[in-house]
Chains A and B, each alone.
Chain A
Amino acid sequence: MNELSKIDRALPWMLVTPALLWTLLFFVVPFVAMALLSLNFQGEGGMTVSNYSQFFTNPSYYRAMINSLEVTGLVTVISVLLAYPFAWILAEQIPQRLQRLALLLAILPFWTSYVVRSYSWLLVLAQNGVVNDALLRARLVTEPLQLANTRTATVIGFVHFFVMLLTLTIFASLKQLNPSYRKAAADLGAGPIRTFIYIILPLTLPGVVVGAFLTFVLAIGDYITPQILGGNNELLMPQLIMMQIGRRGDFASASALALILMAVVTIAYIACARWLKIERT
């Protein structure tokens, strides 16, 4: 125990280095490269913030951020409002032995590829798709509605995914609640409604907030759903970024936009962490 051989001392480092190296080479370095590119770093000390200022001055650029925030906010709120009662029903109203099955069924469509899932919504919402077909047959409309290639379609596509995700997380949160709390609340005179309002809801709120944060982060950085379902009428940030890379090969601009997006996510993260900390004390 006193004299460690050379191998013994080097062993921990030998095991840790590969992971560290990989992260440094393929995550940190690209990040730094992107940051430098975004500042138009020319090597002789020529740096400009033109790519960033362009974001604030060019309407089609900051418009994309506003669209992203609006859509993501809407998706988060709607998904939480739809998922919570659903998770609650799965956790409380369904008999215990069926709960696992019910939950599994609720998240089954997770197993379709993400691209395919968005495509499926395109099928459903297309002008000659299933929804319009049904509406026409029921004579609720005389002409097919423009559902696909709209913000609505993007929102629906996102909500579909995140309702499943949030149902999972909120279900877990509800299940983890100590049953003694419910007994105590009942003992002290609270019926099922008041037990929910005063005890269950506040105690599951942190889990909901974490799920909402996850929703926000994943949605705002997603390229696939808005591209397939929203079309090019209204651009969201990921689409704008991809456009810079694809069409114009303008990596500097794209990098700047990507870092701005990251900054927004970081702000959301800090706000969330703060709120969770306050909840604790």
Chain B
Amino acid sequence: MRGYMRFFSAVYALAIYGFIFLPVVVLVVFSLQSTAFPIPPFTGPSSRWYEAVLNDPRLTSALFNSLAVAIISSVVAVALGFASAWSFARFTLPGSGIMRGLITLPLTVSYLIIGMGLLVIFNMIGLPKNLLAAGIGHVVINLPLCFAIIYSQMGDHQINIERAARDLGATEWNVLWLVTLPIIWPAIFASLFLSMTFSWDEFVISFLLTRFDTTLPVEIWNLLRSGLNPKTNAVGSLVFAVSVVAAIILELILVRRRPA
């Protein structure tokens, strides 16, 4: 009986893995296509489409835009999230529950609706569609996440450690820099990383709020207008490769730091 279980489990698991990896494999394989259509038969390998990507000014500038928006909006989101999380956890403010609920509310709303709302008011006040608008939208979606993650780490034992520091004569500033931040940095790091990931890959808000200078996902979407094109495969594979490498580096950093 055990043997049957093992066999069927293996078959099922492999089937699911196959399903999961199918589109990725097709993407990467046909990015090396030497002819113009990313469909069978495979006429490769050729690096022409990767060259095309790296030589395409729109794609490369979109890449930089994405990076810039991701970094800046994430830093803002983490800063706002940390400041408020620390405050709520350390001080008793009236209506704290309601305010905290308000800050985490955007988590429950679809990005499409958030983007729409911003489009409406930006139209009203005459703010043009650009990367700044998209960046503002990204802060809106990432702030609740940063807040929630950091707030959840401000537990009771944290309070006692800070009390001990104050008891020994530290000012609020000292407590923040020398005690709180060093202990809480994994949460800060995690929320920064998650925010950057969400912002980097975010489509709808960027789509609605940018026009000429745009982010990478939107530029890829534009590429799709021209039908199936190995160039899209190439840029997709590049993004995938970079993300995986970044994730691996992250794993190594975190594994090194923490005494396992």
Contact = CB atoms under 8 A, between A and B. Distances in A.
Interface of A: 8, 11-13, 15-16, 18-20, 22-24, 26-31, 33-34, 37, 82, 85-86, 89-90, 93, 105-106, 108-109, 111-117, 119-124, 126, 128-130, 133, 160, 163-164, 217, 220-221, 223-224, 228, 238, 241-242, 245, 251, 254-255, 258, 261-262, 265, 269
A89 B244 contact: no
B19 A160 contact: yes
Contacts of B39: 123, 126, 128-130, 133
A104 to B, nearest CB: 9
Interface in B106-139: 106, 108-114, 116-121, 123-124, 136-137, 139
Nearest to B87: A15
A265 B107 CA distance: 12
Contacts of A245: 116, 119, 208
Interface stretch (B20-28, B52-60, B153-161): B20-28
Contacts of B105: 23, 27
A26 B139 CA distance: 9
Contacts of B103: 19-20, 23
Contacts of B121: 29-30, 33
A29 B125 CA distance: 12
A65 to B, nearest CB: 14
B117 A269 contact: no
B201 A163 contact: no
Contacts of B239: 112-113, 116
B204 A19 contact: no
B220 A111 contact: no
A119 B31 CA distance: 13
Contacts of A86: 12-13, 16
B116 A241 contact: yes
Given A163-B16, A224-B203, 11 more contacts: A11-B172, A18-B84, A19-B80, A106-B17, A112-B236, A112-B239, A119-B220, A123-B39, A129-B39, A163-B20, A265-B110
A33 B117 contact: yes
B80 A18 contact: yes
A255 B109 CA distance: 14
SS of A interface (majority): helix
Given A115-B203, A261-B113, A19 B106 contact: no
Interface string B238-256: 0110011001000000000
Contact of A106 (B20, B22, B86, B204): B20
Contact of A262 (B110, B143, B244): B110
B90 interface: yes
Contact of B244 (A28, A37, A108): A108
Nearest to B208: A245
A111 B83 contact: no
B30 interface: yes
Given A15-B87, A16-B99, A123 B38 contact: yes
A245 B209 CA distance: 12
A109 to B, nearest CB: 5
B224 interface: yes
Given A112-B239, A124-B22, A245-B208, A228 B224 contact: yes
Contacts of A115: 203, 217, 220-221, 224
A180 B127 CA distance: 60
A277 to B, nearest CB: 18
B117 A116 contact: no
Contacts of A30: 114, 116-118, 120-121
Contact of B220 (A19, A116, A221): A116
B168 interface: no
